[in-house]
Amino acid sequence: MAMHLANAISYITDEEKTQNGVLVGSHNCNADTALQEMLATKRKFGKIDKRQGYHFIISFKKQEVRPETAMEITQKFMERYFGDDFQCLYATHDNTEHVHSHILFNSVSWRTGKKYRYEKGDWAREIQPIVNELCKEYGLSIQDIAVGTEEKTLKKWDKTKQGIFRWNHQISLDVEDSISFANSYDNFLKLMELKGYEIKKKNGETFLKPMGEKKFLHLTDISACYTKEVIENQIEKGIQRETSRSKNRTPRIIGCRKNYRKYIPLTSYQKAFLKKMYRTGQLKRKPYSQMWRYKEEAARFEKLQSQYLYLCRHNIRSAGELEKRKRNLAIRMDDLDEARHQIYKKRYPHKPALALLKIIEENEIRASYYREGSTFYAPNYEKWKEAAEAIVQKGYTLGQISEMKESFQAELASVAKAKRELKKEDNLVNGILSERSRVRVVEIAVPGIEAPYKVQGNGKEPDGIRKDISVRKGGGAKKLNQSR
């Protein structure tokens, strides 16, 4: 039940599109708990099924309105149209050339429990006149308002990641692409089938159905230019053009421009099409990498190499020197902890002023909107003003407290960086010591042989336990059973 509403709320309140949440507001509910309040209203009146909410979009003309002004217009629209009946969440997006506002409201009234009913003609009779009146008050052009439901807009397409999807545009791209490669009308239909479309012919007309859709579409519904005759003419012209190119082709130098395009991820429709191409054998699969077989060996080699380089870099020749190095690291770590404690101690008397600076920074942008004439952000301006006056009363200036904050942050960051380096070195030393304790080389004297043998074992078995020891001398190996 909550999935569609949650996805819609996540989309319209996207921080990248709303100036980090500045351009988000609510009506008859709290913006932070809008979803929970809407669901609670549905449960209260026992209307948790069917349509969950409605989604209005007010779009403004290019470069005609500021985002904060669009917020004010949207707020006034909701007050006039919804009154005290429905819980609404609204946001203004300024990430496109056209500033636009989204309004998402509950389908159930929190006061009466009645469901909202959108009848045919409501847009022209009630909604558009309110928008036009507000635009006239602000000296703007008459705007358009789009009406829909969150279920329809988010059912098959994730707008938070891929934007608004229109089938007509995608189908047009596929049709044009197929025409460019086709050599006949039947071949054009085959290419469309390979792209995932289902083709049906009826009474001499051709209909197609996109992948995942329920209804067939006539090509002329997409564009009046997509009749059979026009498509055949385009295919014929393309064939003639390619023939003339092949006959009159002469060598020429082609300049290369630095026009690098940003990588655009595949859409869900394109992914489904590629998947079908793989299944039908149209695309060859790449051979799987075998690097996973050597992953552990490569990691082991890299670890041993870093340990060896560490010992060489610090000229460590014995286990005693390594233990001494470890003790020095512990002393240096304690010194850094003490240095951090002293920084906190030095910062403590200034904590109230730093807390006020944080309030100023959080409300700085909203306060600037109020100073430019937007009364919507008056509460944020009051918070900003009170904090600024309190800092002056404590004997600081805003510049002084900002420099103090940056100084403390720089000192703490320097200590944290040094601690990370020491911790990394300490882990390396511990690894070397654990390797030495895991595989220890000892010497034992074998009766009747002058030179001692080197014996490999872990040396951790308790007394009375028998163990096998590999004894090596020269190139041979011999198993001995030895009891302790």
3-state secondary structure 179-245: HHHCCCHHHHHHHHHHCCCEEEEECCEEEEECCCCCCCEEHHHHCCCCCHHHHHHHHHHHHHHHHHH
| pLDDT score at 387 | 92
The residue to which tokens 């079908």 are assigned: 276
pLDDT tens, 137-156? 888 876 555 554 443 333 44
| pLDDT score at 365 | 86
Task: Kindly tell me the number of DSSP H helices and DSSP E strands found in the chain.
Answer: 17, 12
The residue to which tokens 């703490």 are assigned: 412
Q: Give CA–CA dist 401/357, Å, rounded.
A: 7
Cβ-contact 191, 182 below 8 angstroms = yes
Class of domain 2-162: alpha beta
| pLDDT score at 241 | 61
Q: Give CA–CA dist 303/309, Å, rounded.
A: 10
pLDDT tens, 183-242? 888 888 888 887 778 888 887 788 888 776 777 888 777 777 788 888 888 888 776 665
Q: In what order do the strands lie in the sheet with 198-202?
A: 198-202, 205-209, 217-218
Q: Give CA–CA dist 88/80, Å, rounded.
A: 13
Q: Give CA–CA dist 165/159, Å, rounded.
A: 8
Q: In what order do the strands lie in the sheet with 467-473?
A: 440-444, 453-457, 467-473, 476-482
Q: Give CA–CA dist 360/390, Å, rounded.
A: 11
Q: Which residues in the chain show pLDDT less than 50?
A: 1, 148-166, 258-260, 439-484
Q: Which residues contact 16 (CB under 8 A, 6 or more apart)?
A: 95
Q: Determine the Cα angle at 164 with ends 192 and 269, to 5°.
A: 30
Q: Residue type for 201, please?
A: K
| Pairing of the two strands 467-473 and 476-482 | antiparallel
Q: Give CA–CA dist 393/431, Å, rounded.
A: 56
Domain residue ranges in the chain:
2-162, 167-246, 317-433, 440-482
3-class state of residue 14 by DSSP: coil
Q: Give CA–CA dist 165/183, Å, rounded.
A: 30
| pLDDT score at 247 | 55
| pLDDT score at 210 | 79
Cβ-contact 110, 28 below 8 angstroms = yes
DSSP codes joined into one string, 132-176: HHHHHHTT-PPPEEEEEEHHHHHSS--HHHH----HHHHHHHHHH
182 by Cβ neighbours in 10 Å (0-12 / 13-18 / 19+) ranks as buried
Max intra-chain CA distance, the chain: 113
Q: Give CA–CA dist 319/89, Å, rounded.
A: 67
The secondary structure of residue 83, as a DSSP letter, is T
pLDDT tens, 226-247? 888 888 888 887 766 656 555 5
The tokens describing 177, both together, are 């692409």
Range 268-271, long-range pairs (CB < 8 A, 24+ positions): 268/157, 268/158, 268/162, 269/170, 269/196, 269/210, 269/211
pLDDT tens, 90-123? 999 988 878 889 999 998 998 888 888 877 777 7
Neighbours of 13 (CB within 10 A): 21
Neighbours of 372 (CB within 10 A): 11
Q: Give CA–CA dist 307/400, Å, rounded.
A: 47
CA atoms within 13 A on the CB side of 402: 7
| pLDDT score at 333 | 93
